Amino acid sequence: MRPVAEIASTHKSKQVEAFKQYTALLKKEFLLETRQQHTLYGVMLYIASTVFVIYLTIDAPDADTWNSLFWITQLFICINAVAKSFLQEARGRMLYYYSITSPSIFILSKLSYNLVLMMAMHLVNFLLYCAFMGNLTASFWQFLAIGMLGSMGLGLVFTMLAAIASKAMQQASLMAILGFPLIIPQLLLLVRLSKTAFAEVFRDGVPLQLVLLLVSLDIMIVFLAVILYPFLWKD
């Protein structure tokens, strides 16, 4: 039998190798984004034009309208930003990934990158809303924190859906078809939770149960992605 120390050393080396693969894949995602900046600028233009059209249509919305429009905009931003995550991966490149890494590490790198991307898109969207239609929130930082958490959840859901849709020809349309029934409960939860940032009476008390439910949904999506993506990986 192998000594316990040798087994522990082998296990630790595998963990170190897995972490190196994860960081390398994550670095690759950021390098591709810097080299293909037209896609990022396209999303930025989409955000700015959408907010500007809403501003021209509704000059001075009330707090509920502002909040609802914000999350609708954020939803479509997520679809446009995340759809390219697997669309840019050619079949030959996927075969290369198949030979050098595991499906769990690959999908975790995609999820991590899209988390960062969606938090950045949320910040841009929020600042544009404040610039064009004013900041109607009673607590700026509270809404920003809730929005970051919600945008992370949207990014996780649509990353997994993009992985599923990448096996079909019409990726973006299939993402929308699969995504809207799944995202409606989370979107309603986000709208309800973010309303607390607009009301003075709730400024000092965010419903902890809603926050924990939102975090639990995000964690569940990560676990499901790690468990289910290997089946797609083999296809």
DSSP letters, 157-170, are HHHHHHHHHTTSS-
DSSP letters, 71-86, are HHHHHHHHHHHHHHHH
Q: What is the pLDDT of residue 125?
A: 92
Nearest to 43 by CA among 112, 123, 98: 123
| Residue spans of alpha helices (H) in the chain | 4-35, 37-57, 63-87, 91-100, 103-133, 140-165, 171-194, 208-233
Q: What is the pLDDT of residue 126?
A: 92
CA–CA distance, 83 with 170 (Å, rounded to integer): 11
Q: What is the pLDDT of residue 11?
A: 52
Q: What is the pLDDT of residue 101?
A: 81
| Domain range annotation of the chain | 4-233
Tens-level pLDDT at each residue, the chain (235 residues): 456 555 555 556 767 777 888 888 888 888 887 877 777 888 888 899 999 999 888 877 888 888 888 998 998 888 888 877 777 666 777 777 777 888 888 888 889 998 888 999 999 999 999 888 888 888 888 888 888 888 888 888 888 888 887 776 656 667 767 777 778 888 888 888 888 887 654 555 567 787 888 888 888 888 888 888 888 776 6
Q: What is the pLDDT of residue 9?
A: 56
Q: For residue 76, count other CB atoms closer than 10 A to its CB.
A: 13
